[in-house]
């Protein structure tokens, strides 16, 4: 698991829903810890650090309300509450417990994933590195000047290719799903554009002399997306 992979605690007692949501989240590159009841959720939260919690309101052993209060008392982690109750007073009650968002069953797993992305984006926007210059071996990225150099030669990059390069290189080792890259690079929010990222990666690799079969910078993570790695020096090899 890459160091920056987001961890999600998924608390849902209905196995079919839990499995479906977990599959969608994992497809997007998240590390999912499932819990089938409130006590299991509290135990998991006490043992691990999570970036977001998806929490069903109606749970066995310990109710979702109690779990939500306990998590909120201990952490500011974003919480998305799931419930079969759709009345306004129930939604308000969930938000007053400390939930950041509220989704009524039945819901689309794709909508839930979109809400997860949105909450994590807001939660982590202030933590992104703000360096103006990144250097990896003979690759230099001048973020402020919107230029990149490889082996001393300036690369002729499109705006999308430059944004893709800077997005990946800010967090070496982090795995980005195609959907994350679509949102960050292209600003779209539709699955149909996911494969567009593959074309941008292919073109960027060609300009970096980065062989897909023996990459130096951009690595494919099969079934997920891509990650950037700094090239190893002679001392590291």
* Per-residue pLDDT, 187: 65
- What is the per-residue pLDDT for 126? 44
* Per-residue model confidence (pLDDT) at position 28: 86
Dihedrals φ, ψ of 227, to 5°? -140, 155
Q: What is the pLDDT of residue 235?
A: 45
Cβ atoms of 71 and 80 within 8 Å: the answer is no
Residues 152-176: b if buried by 16+ CB within 10 A, e if exposed: eeebebeebbbbbbbbbbbbbebbb
CATH topology classification for 133-228: Arc Repressor Mutant, subunit A (1.10.10)
Distances (CA, A) of 109 to 6, 54, 68, 81, 188: 18, 12, 21, 14, 18
Regions of the chain where pLDDT drops below 50: 1-3, 126-127, 190, 234-237
Beta partners for residue 56, in sequence order: 82
CATH class of 7-126: alpha beta
Separation of alpha carbons 177 and 29, rounded Å: 6
What pLDDT score does 25 carry?
92
Q: Where are the domains of the chain?
A: 7-126, 133-228
pLDDT of residue 2: 38
- pLDDT of the residue at 236: 45
């Amino acid at each position: 698991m890459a160091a920056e992979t987001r961890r999600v605690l998924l608390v849902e007692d209905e196995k079919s829903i839990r499995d479906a949501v977990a599959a969608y989240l994992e497809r997007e590159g998240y590390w999912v810890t499932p819990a089938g009841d409130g006590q299991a959720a509290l135990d998991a939260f006490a043992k691990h650090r999570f970036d977001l919690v998806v929490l069903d309101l109606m749970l066995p052993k310990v109710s979702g309300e109690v779990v939500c209060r306990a998590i909120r008392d201990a952490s500011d982690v974003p919480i998305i509450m799931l419930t079969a109750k759709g009345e306004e007073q129930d939604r308000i009650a969930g938000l007053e417990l400390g939930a950041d968002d509220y989704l009524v069953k039945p819901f689309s797993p794709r909508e839930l994933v979109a809400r997860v992305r949105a909450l994590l984006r807001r939660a982590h926007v202030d933590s992104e590195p703000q360096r103006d210059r990144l250097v990896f071996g003979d690759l230099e990225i001048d973020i402020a000047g919107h230029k990149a150099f490889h082996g001393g030669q300036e690369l002729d990059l499109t705006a999308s290719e430059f944004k893709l390069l800077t997005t990946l290189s800010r967090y070496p080792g982090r795995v980005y799903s195609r959907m994350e890259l679509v949102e960050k690079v292209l600003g779209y929010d539709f699955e149909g554009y996911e494969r567009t990222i593959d074309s941008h990666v292919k073109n960027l690799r060609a300009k970096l002399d980065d062989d897909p079969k023996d990459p130096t910078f951009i690595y494919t993570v099969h079934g997920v997306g891509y990650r950037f790695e700094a090239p190893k020096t002679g001392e590291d090899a």
